[in-house]
Structure 1
Amino acid sequence: MRKLISRCMVIAFILLGISAYSQAKIKFSSIPNVLQGIEPNDKIDFWVLNYNTYGKDQELKVSGTKKDFIPQTSGFDLFPDEDSFYYIVYSSGGKINYVTDLDALKKFVGKIDNVQEAAILATVDGYMIDEEFKDVAGNYYEDQSNYYLDLGKLTSKECPYQKTHFTLTVNKASGAVTQVKDNGTYIELYNKKCANNPRLLKIEKKRRI
């Protein structure tokens, strides 16, 4: 009887360990690495991920035999208010195509094959990997059925500038977002033009005194 109880306890601890491991949150390493995780579903001859900053292109990933293409002057970004941008060049059936906006990116990604693609498609819906606050808005964990993404979202572009973080449950089989949990605001920023800036209100109060 004791041996049976001991075996049951060992199995229970193993199952608990597997459960804890499966729910360990992993931070997204960087937005470029997330984009390099794309696995196109359509038949692609080659594709190139480009990063443009200050008017200069940098090829972050080349898949297949690259052909000549025209450098682009605009593209998409997975984080708002950035001066740089990304774009993708790919060839399908011998024809050169360009991905320069989020809708085209969504079409290029197609069916979700991994957690990187799940995060990319969430970006199309206004979410973001916040590289400054990965602990709350730039990580994930997964189990056998779902990806669980902790992502940020701009919920106010006026005063104060506000970010809220959410947990998105993405079904691996269908790619559908089955649940969105609002975890609350994690940052509020005021600038000098904000009439409700607490610092300015304190200064004005002192002046009146």
Structure 2
Amino acid sequence: MIKAILKFGIFSFLLLGINAYSQEKKHFTGYSNILQGIIPNQKTDFWILVHNNYGKNQEVRVVGTKKDYIPQSSGFNLFPDENGFFYVVSSSAGKIEYITDLPALRKFVGKIDNVDEAAIMLTDEGYFVDEEFNDLAGNYAEDSKNYYLEVGKLTSKECPYQKKHFTIAVNKATGEIGTVKDDGTYIELYNKKCTNNPRLLKIEKKEPPKDEPKKTNSTTKRR
């Protein structure tokens, strides 16, 4: 009986160890690398990931034998207020398509094949991988059923500028979003123009200084 209990204990410990290892957090390593993880939903003749930064186009990834295409003047971002933009040039059955927004990118991605595509899907839902604060909003883990992504979301562009972070489960088999855990606010910025700036409110609440009694100069006339 004791041996059976010991064996069960060791087995349970091993299972816990495997589960903990499988959910070890890893950092996302940049928007460019996330986009390079795309596995298109449809068969393509070729596809190209292009990054435009200050008017200069850089082909980040080329899959297949590319043909001439027209450089685009607009595209999509994976991060709010990101400098530059990305776009995808795709050719299927000889027809070239330009992917310049997130809904079209999500359609191009199609079925979720990996954690990078899960991050792209969540970006279309309003979340993002925050490279600047990746310890809070730029991680992921996985087990046999789900990807678990720690991502950010811009919850206010007004005063105060605010970001919150979330842990979101994405089902590997279906690509559906499961549990969404709100991990709280990690950025809250006020500026001088914010009417609800706590520092300004404190200043306004201070009592105005009492006026000092005015000194009167008395003059005497000499006769």
User: Shorter chain as normaliser: what TM range?
Assistant: over 0.9
Matches within 5 A, 1:113-152: 113-152=113-152
2:165 matches 1:165:
yes
**Matches of 2:169 and 2:155, distance apart in 1:** 20
Corresponding position of 1:64: 64
How many Å separate the matches in 1 of 2:154 and 2:105? Answer: 20
Figure out how many residues of one structure are paired with residues of the other and give that number. 209
**Partners in 2 of 1:184 and 1:10 — Cα distance?**
37
Query: 2-side partners of 1:57 and 1:200: how far apart?
Result: 45
Structure 1 residue 208: deviation in Å? 3.8
Whole-angstrom distance in 2 between the partners of 1:34 and 1:207? 55
* Structure 1 residues 9-28: aligned runs within 5 Å: 9-28=9-28
The Cα shift of 1:83 comes to 2.7
Q: What is the match of residue 184 of structure 1?
A: 184
- How far off is 1:197 after superposition? 2.2
Quote how far apart the aligned CAs of 1:193 are. 1.7
Q: Radius of gyration: which is bigger? A: 2
Between 1:23-32 and 1:199-208, the stretch displaced more is: 199-208
Displacement, 1:178?
Answer: 1.8
- Superposition TM-score, scaled by structure 1 size: 0.93
Choose 183-192 or 90-99, whichever is displaced more: 183-192
Q: Which amino acid aligns with 1:192?
A: K
Q: Name the structure 2 match of 1:105.
A: 105
Q: Which residue of 1 aligns with 2:46?
A: 46
Which shows bigger deviation, 126-135 or 1-10?
Answer: 1-10
Using the aligned pairs only, state the percent identity. Answer: 67
Aligned alpha-carbon RMSD (Å): 1.7
Unaligned runs of 5+ in 1: none
Unaligned runs of 5+ in 2: 210-223
SS at match of 2:70: coil
Deviations 1:31-65 (A, max 9, x none): 11000000002011111101111100111111111
Hey, what's the Cα distance between the residues in 1 that align with 2:2 and 2:158? 66
Letter of the 2:192 partner, please give it: K
